[in-house]
Structures are given as C-alpha cells and as structure tokens.
C-alpha cells in the first residue's frame, strides 16, 4: 500500500503540472492580446517596449518550464519554487511597465500567491508572498527615483500588498483543510482496502460457491469454489465479464427464467462435472439489483444429509436404549424372584412387571409418534366448544382439578388430533407437578394483540432455571418415570401448525406453559 507522503508528492506533481500549463497559456495569451490590440490600446501601455520584452521572456520561460516539468519528474519542489519566482518577477515587471497596479495583473498576482500556498510549504509560500509585496510596494519608489513611475499609485500598491497577505493566509487555511481531508481519505481507503482483502480471503477459503451477477448478467464477483463448480477459469474471480462468455449454460437459464428471491434449483453444465445445487438471493444495492447465486455440490449436500440422519438415528437409538434399560432391568429382576416368592410377593412382582411393561410400551409409542412425521391438517377449531369437549372426553378423570377461564369466543387453525395431544400432555403434566394443597390448575384462554394464548398453569415448584434450556429436548425429564418425549412432541406439533410453545416464568410459585397462535374471531 503506498504511503501518504507518496500520495502527497504525486498530487503535488499533478497540480504543479496543471499550474505550469496555466502559466504557459496565460503568458502566451497576454502576448497575443498585446500584439493584436497594441495599435488600438497603445495609450494604456506606459512603456510598451518594456512590456513586450518582459511578456515575451515570460512566455518563453513558462513554455520551457512546462515541458521541463512534464519530461523530468525529479526535483519537483525546486521546479515549483522556480515557477513562482519567475511569476513574481515577471508580474512585478509588467506592473512596472504599466505604471502601477493593474486589475488584470493584480488578479494574476493573487492566483500566483494562492497557488504557492497550495503547492509549497508554509515558509516558501510566505517568502514568495513577501517578495511579491516588496516588488509591488517598493517598485513605486524605485520607479520614481529613476522617473519610470510616479507616486500616485502607492495607495493601490499598498492595498494590493495587504490583499497578498490575506490570500496567503486563506491559502494556508485551505491547504490545512486539504491535508486533513487527504489524511482522512487515505486512512479510510486503507481501511477499505484491508476489508476488501479480508473479504477476498474469506471468500477464497469458504467451501461454498458465491457468484454475483448484475442486471445485465455480468459476473461482478465470484470466489474460487464457484469457479471450480462452474468450470470457470480462476481469472474471473477478480474481473467483470459477461456470463454468456464464461458460463453459457447458466446464462441461458438466467436469461429465460425469472428466478425469485429464495428460489432453489439444480443445475448441470457441459463445462462442469458437478451436479450443482443453486440458491438465489436478491441483493438491493444503490441504483441496481444484484443477484447472488449460492452454489453447492449436490452430492456433498446429500452426503451431509445422510450423515446428519445417521447421527440423529444413533442419538435416538442410544436414548431409547438408555430409557428402556431401567424398566427392563426391573422386569428381569422381578422375573428372577417370581418363582421363589410366596403368592403375596408374586402378586406384587406381577404388578411391578406390568407397570414396567406399560412404561416400555409408552416409550415405544412416543418414539413412534415422534419419528412417524404424520401429515398436519389444520382446521378451524372454535375453542368455546372444543375445550369443554376435550376435558369431558380425554380428561374426565381429572376434570374437577381443571379451572377453565375463557372470556370471549375465539378460534384457531390447528390439527385437531395434534391439539388434543398437546393440551392433554400439558394439562396432565401440570396436574402431576401441582401443589397438593392447591385444588386445581388453571387453563386460561385469552386474546393478546393478534394472538390467542392458551396458558396451562400449575402452582407447584416450577421449573429450575438450569433445566429450562433443555425443556423441549427429546428424552429430557426431571422424573424417574418420565419418558422425556411429551414436551418435545407438544413443541413439534405446535411448530407444525405455525404456533409456538414456550415456558413463561412466573413471579409467584408455579409453572406456566403457553401455546400461542394467530387468532380467528368467531
């Protein structure tokens, strides 16, 4: 990355070259104007021959300095000092030839001093300004001694000298502002360059292909993985090229297909041996819309999915084995003791075997319900009629322990069978964890904003804080006899019906599980 001093020197050279060209044009133009208008305006020139000689020398020296600076890019500061020294000398002599300050020459003086403030350091610019002041003020006295000028223009000369100092000060303020802005611009460009390098490095290391197209189907950006998948030469990573040249097959697809944001499709090309999975994303940037194509090897995706399935199956198998091992051990132990026990003990052992068998059957049934992925069929369910019927049909043994609170008739879209399973699970969990001294649990149904909340609340000890993050994970249970699948299934059923099951912390005692879904007014 070039240093700030290098940028400053380069800017100084270019500005000096422009100023040198300006001097050449001004001196040549003044000389042509004098040659063309001398006969008509001869009275305005006090010493026309002197004026002509100075102007001719100024034009000649300016042209030589311009071509020297353009051809020789060394000693630039010294060349700039010589430019302004010649300018001050020539303009002073022209002022003397005109018998005092002239508006046009004064403007050229002002431009010269301001340019010196921009292109030279403060000391050299001040020196040029002082020389200009001295030449303007004292040439009046010198000219009067040699009877070249009179003292009548001394006031104008003094005013012009004061103006030189004002211009010098303004130039110094401007150059400091320019330096601050240049340093700020340089630091921002350096940070931007660093970010671009980091982004490029990340894109080069990532294993997913990224291809960005503009509205004309030109490749704006691509990373090595995208080039590899599409069979594009690596040179296209850094340059913008028409897609029809780099990947004609993909261009034909992009040309004739309107691909909406989020669309996915499979793509094969004669240039590539890969079967590519493509995901489309629209990028809205100022003045245009770009299309980002996320490219992945379809074979690798399938392999990854299979690996995830195997990992999930292994975890599920290990969890089932762990859950079944305890009741199975109890059954084996009871079976070993059964033959050598008296009838009363055999009855107790038989009850234990039956209870553990029921537990194993429940684990198996819950697992089958979890993996069977039954299709969800939401219907409109008026809760005013559904809730009492649910309590009467499926919770009749504990209906006296349920306090149903529902103020207004509302309805929700939900699969009826899955809603039954969710509420049965939540209500029986609440009854099981309720404080024995409290006669009932609460089933509160109410509308909040655009949602229906179904709160199942008990008044027990609640859920410990360290257990809340694992509440809806499969096979997590705080009870010895629990399977740990009830809340997981309820959570899955709610998600399948565009609803949400959450645990709501209570300020007082108890636990509250809330089912939230969009309300439909009946």
Share of the chain above pLDDT 70, in %: 82
Q: What pLDDT does residue 261 have? A: 79
H or E stretch at 77: helix 76-97
Which residues make Cβ contacts (< 8 Å) with residue 153, sequence separation at least 6? 99, 100, 101, 140
pLDDT of residue 322 exceeding 70, the answer is: no
Q: Is the model more confident about 230 or about 42?
A: 230
3-state secondary structure of 238: coil
Contact 76, 13 (CB under 8 A): yes
pLDDT of residue 463 exceeding 60, the answer is: yes
pLDDT confidence bin for 112, thresholds 50/70/90: confident
pLDDT of residue 266 exceeding 60, the answer is: yes
48-65 average pLDDT score: 86
207-300: CATH topology is: Beta-Lactamase (3.30.450)
Give residue 499's region: left, alpha or beta (phi > 0; psi -120 to 50): beta
Say how many Å lie between the first and final Cα of the chain, rounded: 70
State whether CATH 3.30.360.10 applies to domain 379-521. no
pLDDT of residue 268 exceeding 70, the answer is: yes
Query: What is the Cα–Cα distance from 367 to 489, expressed in whole angstroms?
Result: 9
Q: What pLDDT does residue 138 have? A: 66
Torsion angles phi and psi, residue 259, rounded to 5: -95, 110
Query: What is the Cα–Cα distance from 107 to 160, expressed in whole angstroms?
Result: 10
pLDDT of residue 471 exceeding 70, the answer is: yes
pLDDT of residue 214 exceeding 70, the answer is: yes
Determine if the pTM surpasses 0.75.
Answer: no
Give residue 434's region: left, alpha or beta (phi > 0; psi -120 to 50): beta
Domain with CATH 3.30.450.20 in the chain: 207-300
Domain with CATH 3.30.565.10 in the chain: 379-521
Architecture field, domain 303-371? Orthogonal Bundle (1.10)
Q: What pLDDT does residue 343 have? A: 81
118-133 average pLDDT score: 80
Q: List the helix and strand counts (H, then E) for the chain.
A: 14, 14
Q: In what order do the strands lie in the sheet with 402-406?
A: 402-406, 441-448, 451-457, 512-518, 500-504
pLDDT of residue 344 exceeding 60, the answer is: yes
pLDDT of residue 256 exceeding 70, the answer is: no
Q: What pLDDT does residue 373 have? A: 57
pLDDT confidence bin for 2, thresholds 50/70/90: very low
Burial class of residue 65 (count of CB atoms within 10 Å of its CB; 0-12, 13-18, 19+): buried
Q: Which of 151-155, 236-240, 377-381 has the largest mean confidence?
A: 377-381
pLDDT of residue 38 exceeding 60, the answer is: yes
Domain with CATH 1.10.287 in the chain: 303-371
Q: Which residues pair with 293 in a beta bridge?
A: 211, 280
């Amino acid at each position: 990355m070039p240093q700030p001093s290098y940028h400053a020197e380069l800017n100084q050279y270019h500005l000096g070259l422009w100023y040198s060209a300006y001097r050449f044009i001004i001196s040549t133009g003044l000389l042509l104007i004098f040659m063309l208008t001398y006969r008509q305006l001869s009275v305005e020139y006090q010493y026309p021959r002197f004026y002509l000689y100075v102007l001719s020398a100024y034009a000649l020296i300016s042209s030589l300095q311009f071509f020297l600076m353009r051809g020789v890019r060394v000693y630039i500061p010294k060349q700039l000092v010589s430019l302004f020294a010649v300018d001050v000398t020539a303009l002073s002599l022209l002022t003397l030839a005109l018998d005092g300050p002239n508006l046009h020459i004064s403007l050229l003086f002002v431009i010269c001093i301001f340019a010196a403030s921009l292109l030279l350091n403060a000391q050299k610019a001040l020196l040029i300004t002082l020389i200009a002041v001295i030449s303007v003020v004292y040439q009046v006295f010198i000219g009067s001694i040699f009877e070249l000028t009179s003292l009548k223009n001394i006031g104008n000369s003094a005013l012009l000298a004061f103006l030189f100092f004002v211009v010098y000060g303004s130039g110094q303020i401007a150059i400091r502002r320019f330096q601050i802005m240049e340093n700020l611009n340089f630091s921002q460009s350096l940070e931007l360059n660093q970010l671009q390098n980091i982004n490029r490095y990340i894109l080069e290391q990532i294993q997913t292909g990224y291809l960005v197209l503009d509205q004309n189907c030109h490749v704006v950006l691509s990373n090595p993985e995208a080039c590899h998948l599409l069979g594009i030469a690596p040179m296209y990573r850094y340059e913008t090229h028409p897609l029809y040249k780099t990947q004609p097959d993909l261009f034909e697809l992009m040309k004739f297909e309107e691909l909406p944001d989020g669309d996915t499709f499979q793509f094969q090309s004669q240039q590539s041996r890969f079967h590519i999975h493509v995901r489309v994303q629209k990028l809205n940037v100022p003045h245009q819309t770009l299309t980002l194509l996320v490219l992945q090897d379809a074979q690798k995706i399938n392999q990854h999915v299979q690996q995830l399935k195997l990992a999930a199956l292994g975890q599920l198998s290990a969890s089932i084995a762990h859950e079944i091992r305890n009741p199975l051990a109890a059954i084996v132990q009871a079976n070993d003791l059964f033959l050598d026990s008296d009838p009363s003990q055999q009855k107790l052992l038989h009850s234990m075997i039956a209870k553990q068998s029921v537990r194993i059957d429940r684990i198996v049934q819950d697992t089958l319900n979890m993996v069977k992925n039954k299709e969800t069929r939401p219907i409109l369910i008026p809760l005013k009629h559904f809730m009492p019927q649910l309590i009467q049909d499926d919770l009749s043994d504990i209906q006296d322990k349920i306090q149903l609170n529902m103020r207004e008739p509302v309805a929700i879209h939900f699969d009826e069978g899955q809603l039954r399973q969710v509420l049965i699970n939540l209500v029986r969990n609440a009854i099981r964890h309720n404080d024995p001294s409290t006669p009932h649990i609460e089933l509160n149904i109410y509308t909040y904003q655009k949602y229906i909340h179904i709160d199942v609340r008990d008044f027990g000890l609640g859920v410990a804080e360290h257990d809340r993050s694992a509440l809806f994970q499969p096979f997590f249970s705080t009870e010895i006899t629990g399977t740990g699948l009830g809340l997981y299934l309820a959570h899955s059923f709610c998600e399948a019906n565009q609803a949400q099951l959450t645990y709501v912390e209570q300020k007082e005692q108890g636990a509250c599980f809330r089912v939230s879904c969009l309300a439909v007014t009946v």
